[in-house]
């Protein structure tokens, strides 16, 4: 029976701490280790140094600091390349050993979720092939896209519970000359950003204390196999996932709430291509307009390929309907890099984005005209043949 | 869910009259195929019919779509209604898995994933229709190893994303060279994928029957994929046929 | 323009042989080879082409098998061979500019030249002249195919 006095407790006085022993789901750590002991697979251990964080039911999750193998995202690298560039750039500025592989395929989850032109065995084989490739290099896989991340968590669950599937995948990998390797943790890059937020903030050179931001968490990050997502008591009292928010708060940004925080962005997979009114209606009316109305943010930060794409690109069509749009969108990695002094065009590659982000840059005191001129000086040299590429050295601070 | 209103445009017709001509045995065969999938038992334990999934579902707000009705239908084993959803409803799902909020720990989105695969595997016309306009993406991922590519950004393909798309297309080659990561100086793929890696991917498609699924639903796509893959596999010394 | 009648704005030169269903055309050359390409309708349905990749010279292709893969920003598909034979020449220009097919589907946009194995039987299966125009009229109306749009510099 709830005591009368409880009605007067304020939310911030309640200190809810989950007890892992009372968790409603199994602990994948135990089963992954058990299956290794039975000889079913080899576990790729998170290398030291690792940062310990907590997931939903207060279980410990290990996040690697360096020696990371970057499992890239199709949509990021293909359409918003500043997103992945920022992740690599931060690693480089922090002097961390990391690897950008060409022996990597897409997770192919679009093939699975959008067109259903795949099946559980194919998806598991693709995932395990990538993990085996990472293991061969000695670097630990870190996943860039939230859908890849969610999908790989699902795949892990399917492999844990289906010996027949494990057998089938193992046979396929043998034919490719590979072993069956299960990573100790499946890590999303935004979890790494969360774990490293203090080190990122140490190198902050752009004052962001005047900024108001809203965040959007990817469905596939915190709803799909939701127990393996990061939670922290100092962020939302561990009632919502800590990713993105923790970084922004550490950078001094005012993170504002809005009533549709939990809603999907409307990406929808095949919808973004063949049923677009769904995607843009949802993005504009359930997310952007609500954020603008209730939180009046300067910037919207998300941590997934599809989310950044949908929320950003949907706003243009929204203007034709006279909707309340015009909120620039970027990833946590791009914002973190910007805070550390990264060039808005050479590193953040903001010219690939849709919604106007110049007012946002101006608010931070960044001279985007000069920055663009610097970038164009490079592209002019590429055009004239004076140089082949923009290099990492060109981007260091 | 007893008496249905007459068919209205934009509304899902749950009467089943549009599929009255299909043999019950055929519908049941497809139903059993969904139920027999290795993932099914973990996706559907039994439906409370509470509708919490609908409350969280983005597609339910836009389409005449209900994850509850689909989960409920599968749990009640209503074969006729299953067939209606299989053809007329499953492609509206945005696969966000917000419905995993289910208090019974079902995954209506997961059930739908399996239903879609069964629709594709069996060459249903509704599946082929749903995938029209998606062919290039499937071609891209199956043959090159990345799902999309920079050269897909054109005003012709994305007129609704804004004028920057035309700028990108005009400057694509140069702007891709103006990216620091060495693997990303590509235009036809999202990043540079090794030849050896692509071969491994082809072998996975071959060994898991994915090419057979594609053949059922898009013969033209299957043909060009078969061509590309068999040639590359042959060059690498593999004797593999997709026929 | 009388040798190039059109249906819904889509041109169909009378001297060519067409596979109406697959939207390919065949031109019989004096030396016994045939030239093969995509029709105006096909280029219009595909939209501005990004890539056109023909098979290699020397490749033997059965009727119905892909001669080339064409890709626009929203569509990818095979150009299915209307005849059986060995490819003896390939339009290399397409490798650097696939939009030639959009601009000149019947002339500069030819895809391959082939030495046909069963020229007589297979040509007889195709439509030519007014019969082709009529067959296309039927198909275009039945499938409600959209009217053809042409890029600047188009030649029929």
- Structure tokens that stand for A243 in this block: 């990713």
Specify if A13 maps to a domain: no
C87 neighbors C59 (Cβ within 8 angstroms): yes
C75 and B136: CB-CB below 8 Å?
Answer: yes
Domain count, chain C: 1
Q: Residues A315, A286: one domain?
A: yes
Q: Chains contacting C with at least 3 CB pairs below 8 Å?
A: B
CB contact under 8 A, B151 and C73: yes
In this prediction, residue A392 carries a pLDDT of 98
- CATH number of the domain encompassing residue A241: 3.40.50.11810
At residue A10, the pLDDT reads 63
How far is it, in rounded angstroms, from Cα A301 to Cα A217? 9
Residue C14 inside a domain? The answer is yes
Q: Are residues A291 and A271 in the same domain?
A: yes
Per-residue pLDDT tens over the stretch A134-152: 999 999 999 999 999 999 9
Nearest-CA neighbor of C63 among B223, B213, B228, B217? B223
Instruction: Give partners of B (≥3 CB pairs < 8 A).
Output: A, C
Q: Are B183 and A101 an interchain contact pair (Cβ–Cβ within 8 Å)? A: yes
A4 band by pLDDT with thresholds 50, 70 and 90: confident
Residue ending a domain, among A167, A188, A209, is A188
Chain A CB contacts of B160 under 8 Å are: 276, 280, 313, 316-317
Contact A268 B217 (CB under 8 A): no
Average pLDDT over residues A3-26: 75
* Domain identity same for A256 and A331: yes
Measured distance CA(B196)–CA(A145) in Å, rounded: 23
Q: What pLDDT does residue A307 have? A: 97
Smallest Cα distance from B88 to chain A, Å: 15
Residue pLDDT, tens place only, A84-99: 999 999 999 999 999 9
Cβ-based neighbour number of residue C32 at 10 Å: 9
pLDDT in tens, chain B (243 residues): 344 445 566 789 999 999 999 999 999 999 999 999 999 999 999 999 999 999 999 999 999 999 999 999 999 999 999 999 999 999 999 999 999 999 999 999 999 999 999 999 999 999 998 888 788 889 999 999 999 999 889 888 899 999 999 999 999 999 999 999 999 999 999 999 999 999 999 999 999 999 999 999 888 999 999 999 998 999 999 988 888
In a domain, C63, yes or no: yes
Find which of B64, B143, B161, B203 to mutate to test the A interface (most A CBs within 10 Å of its CB): B161
- Domain hosting residue C87, numbered range: 10-140
Query: Could you tell me which of C67, A101, A126, A142 has the C-alpha nearest to residue B141?
Result: A126
Q: Which residue has the higher pLDDT, A89 or C3?
A: A89
Residue C59 lies inside a defined structural domain of this protein:
yes
Average pLDDT for chain C: 92
Report CB contact under 8 Å: C76, B224.
Answer: yes
Check if the beta carbon of residue A57 is closer than 8 Å to that of residue A328: no
- Output the CA angle B237-B238-B241, nearest 5 degrees: 140
Question: Is the ipTM reported for this complex over the cut 0.90?
Answer: yes
In which band, very low, low, confident or very high, does the pLDDT at C1 lie, cut at 50, 70 and 90? very low
* Residue appearing with tokens 């030495």: C115
What's the rounded Cα separation, in Å, for the pair B161 and A272? 11
Residue A319: what are its φ and ψ, rounded to 5°? -65, -35
Whether residues A345 and A331 share a domain: the answer is: yes
**Residues of chain A positioned with their CB less than 8 A from the CB of B190:** 72-78, 106
User: Which pLDDT score, from 0 to 100, does residue C30 have?
Assistant: 95
Residue A347 and residue A264 share a domain: yes
Query: A111: which chain B residues are within 8 Å (Cβ-Cβ)?
Result: 138, 141-142, 147
In-domain check, residue C112: yes
* CB contacts, 8 Å: C50 with chain B: 151, 154
Residue of A334, A346, A397 whose CA lies nearest to A374: A346
Predicted model pTM? 0.92
Q: Does residue C154 sit within a domain?
A: no
Contact status, residue A112 vs residue B113, Cβ threshold 8 Å:
yes
Q: Which domains does chain B have, with CATH numbers?
A: 24-122 (1.10.1060.10)
Question: Is A146 found in the same domain as A214?
Answer: no
- Nearest CA to C70 out of C93, C101, C40 is that of C101
Q: From A130, which residue of chain B is nearest by alpha-carbon distance?
A: B197
Structurally, how many domains does chain A consist of?
A: 2
* A113 and A139 part of one domain: yes
Cis peptide before A49 (omega within 30 of 0): yes
Cβ–Cβ < 8 Å for C45, C76: no
**Which chain B residues touch A390 with a CB distance below 8 Å?**
177-180
Residue with tokens 């898009």: B218
Nearest C-alpha neighbor of A133 from the set B209, B200, B139: B200
Classify residue A388: in a domain, yes or no.
Answer: no
Residues A140 and A267 in one domain: no
A67 and A165 part of one domain: yes
Encoded tokens for B152: 């897909």
Which residue, of A188, A210, A227, is where some domain finishes?
A188
Interchain contact, A223 vs B96, CB within 8 Å: yes
CB C110 within 8 A of CB C116: no
| Token reading at C102 | 């959009």
- Among A121-125, B101-105, B173-177, C148-152, the range scoring the smallest mean pLDDT is C148-152
HSE (side-chain half, CA atoms, 13 Å) at A65? 13
Question: Using CA atoms, how far apart are residues A209 and A251, in angstroms rounded to an integer?
Answer: 8
Domain span at A321: 190-373
Mean pLDDT, chain A, rounded, equals: 95
Q: Are B12 and B81 in contact (CB under 8 A)?
A: no
CB contact under 8 A, B227 and C66: yes
Question: Regarding predicted confidence, which is higher, A3 or B111?
Answer: B111
Which among B56, B61, B146 is the nearest to A106, CB-wise?
B146
Is A135 in the same domain as A203?
no
Interface of B with A in 80-139 (CB under 8 A): 91-92, 94-98, 100-101, 113, 116-117, 119-120, 127, 130-134, 137-138
Can you tell me the distance from the alpha carbon of C98 to that of C96, in angstroms, rounded to the nearest whole number?
7
CATH code at position C82: 2.40.50.100
Domain assignment present for C27: yes
pLDDT greater than 50 at residue A342: yes
Task: For CA atoms B26, B32, B36, B41, give the dihedral sign.
Answer: positive
Please, what's the b/e burial string for A112-135 (b: 16 or more CB within 10 A of its CB; e: otherwise)?
bbbbbbbbbbbbbbbbbbbbbbbb
Q: How far is CA A372 from CA A349, A354, A384, A391, in A?
A: 10, 16, 18, 17
| B117·A116 Cβ contact <8 A | yes
Q: Tell if the CB–CB gap between B205 and A122 is shorter than 8 Å.
A: yes
Burial B36-69 (b: 16+ CB within 10 A, else e): ebbbbebbbeebbeeeebbebbbbbbbbbbbbbb
pLDDT digits (tens, 9 = 90+) for A216-270: 999 999 999 999 999 999 999 899 999 999 999 999 999 999 999 999 999 988 8
Q: Is residue A1 part of a domain?
A: no
Least confident of A229-238, A303-312, B193-202, C144-153: C144-153
pLDDT of residue A11: 59
Across the beta sheet with A68-71, the strand order is: A98-99, A68-71, A140-143
Same domain, A153 and A201: no
> Strands A68-71 and A98-99, how do they pair?
parallel
Same structural domain, A246 and A183: no
In a domain, A245, yes or no: yes
Looking only at the bridges linking them, the beta strands covering A68-71 and A140-143 are parallel
């Amino acid at each position: 029976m709830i005591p009368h006095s409880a009605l007067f407790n304020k939310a911030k006085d309640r200190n809810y701490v989950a007890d892992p022993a009372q968790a409603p789901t199994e602990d994948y750590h135990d089963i992954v280790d058990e299956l290794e002991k039975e000889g079913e697979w080899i576990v790729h251990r998170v290398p030291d140094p690792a940062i310990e964080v907590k997931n939903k039911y207060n279980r410990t999750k290990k996040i690697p600091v360096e020696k990371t193998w970057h499992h890239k995202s199709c949509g990021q690298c293909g359409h918003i390349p500043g997103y992945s560039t920022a992740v690599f750039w931060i690693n480089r500025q922090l002097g961390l050993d990391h690897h950008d592989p060409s022996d990597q395929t897409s997770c192919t989850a679009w093939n699975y979720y959008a067109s259903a032109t795949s099946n559980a065995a194919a998806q598991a084989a693709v995932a395990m092939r990538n993990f085996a490739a990472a293991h061969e290099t000695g670097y630990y896989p870190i996943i860039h896209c939230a859908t890849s991340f969610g999908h790989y968590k699902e795949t892990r669950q399917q492999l844990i519970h289906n010996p027949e599937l494990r057998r089938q995948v193992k046979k396929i990998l043998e034919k490719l000359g590979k072993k069956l390797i299960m990573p100790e943790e499946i890590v999303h890059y935004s979890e790494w950003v969360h774990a490293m937020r203090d080190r990122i903030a140490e190198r902050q050179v752009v004052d962001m204390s005047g900024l108001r931001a809203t965040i959007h968490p990817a469905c596939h990050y915190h709803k799909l196999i939701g127990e393996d997502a990061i939670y922290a008591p100092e962020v939302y009292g561990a009632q919502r996932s800590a990713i993105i928010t923790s970084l922004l708060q550490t950078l001094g940004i005012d993170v504002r709430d809005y009533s549709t925080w939990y809603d999907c962005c409307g990406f929808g997979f095949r919808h973004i291509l063949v049923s677009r009114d769904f995607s843009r209606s949802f993005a504009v009316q359930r997310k952007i307009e609500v954020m603008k109305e209730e939180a009046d943010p300067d910037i919207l930060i998300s941590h997934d390929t599809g989310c950044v794409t949908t929320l950003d690109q949907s706003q243009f069509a929204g203007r034709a309907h006279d909707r309340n749009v015009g909120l620039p969108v970027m990833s946590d990695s791009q914002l973190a890099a910007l805070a550390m002094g990264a060039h808005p065009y050479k590193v953040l590659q903001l010219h690939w984005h849709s919604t106007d982000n110049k007012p946002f840059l101006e608010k931070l005191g960044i001279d985007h005209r000069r920055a663009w001129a610097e970038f164009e000086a490079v592209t002019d040299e590429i055009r004239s043949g004076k140089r082949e590429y923009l290099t990492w050295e060109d981007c260091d601070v | 869910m007893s008496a249905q209103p007459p068919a209205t445009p934009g509304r899902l017709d749950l009467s089943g009259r549009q599929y009255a001509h299909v043999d019950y045995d055929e519908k049941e065969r497809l139903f059993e195929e969904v139920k027999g999938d290795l993932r099914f038992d973990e996706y559907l334990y039994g439906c409370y019919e509470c509708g919490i999934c609908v409350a969280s579902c983005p597609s339910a707000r836009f389409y005449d779509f209900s994850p509850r009705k689909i989960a409920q239908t599968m749990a009640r084993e209503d074969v006729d209604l299953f067939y209606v959803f299989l053809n007329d409803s499953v492609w509206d799902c945005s696969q966000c898995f917000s419905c995993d909020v289910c208090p019974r720990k079902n995954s209506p989105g997961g059930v739908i994933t399996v239903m879609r695969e069964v629709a594709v595997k069996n060459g249903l016309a509704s599946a082929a229709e749903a995938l029209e306009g998606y062919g290039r993406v499937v071609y891209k991922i199956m043959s090159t190893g990345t799902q999309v590519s920079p050269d897909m950004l054109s005003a012709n393909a994305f007129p609704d994303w804004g004028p920057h798309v035309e700028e990108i297309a005009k400057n694509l080659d140069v702007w891709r060279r103006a990216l620091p990561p060495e693997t990303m100086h590509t235009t036809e793929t999202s990043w540079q994928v090794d030849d050896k890696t692509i071969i491994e991917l082809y072998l996975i498609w071959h060994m898991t029957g994915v090419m057979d699924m594609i053949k059922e639903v898009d013969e033209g796509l299957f043909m060009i994929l078969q061509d590309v893959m068999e040639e590359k596999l042959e060059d690498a010394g593999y004797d593999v046929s997709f026929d | 323009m009388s040798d190039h009648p059109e249906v819904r704005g889509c041109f169909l030169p009378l001297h060519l042989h067409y596979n109406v269903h697959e939207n390919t055309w065949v031109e019989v050359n004096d030396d016994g080879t045939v030239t093969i390409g995509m029709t105006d309708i096909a280029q219009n349905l595909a939209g501005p082409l990004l890539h056109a990749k023909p098979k290699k010279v020397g490749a033997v292709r059965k009727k119905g098998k892909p001669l080339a893969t064409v890709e626009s920003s929203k569509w990818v598909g095979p150009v299915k061979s209307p005849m059986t034979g060995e490819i003896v020449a390939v339009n290399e220009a397409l490798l650097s500019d696939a939009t030639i097919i959009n601009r000149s589907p019947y002339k500069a946009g030819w895809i391959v030249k082939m030495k046909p194995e069963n020229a007589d039987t297979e040509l007889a299966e195709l439509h030519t002249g007014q019969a082709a125009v009529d067959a296309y009229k039927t198909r275009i109306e039945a499938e409600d195919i959209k009217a053809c749009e042409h890029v600047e510099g188009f030649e029929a």
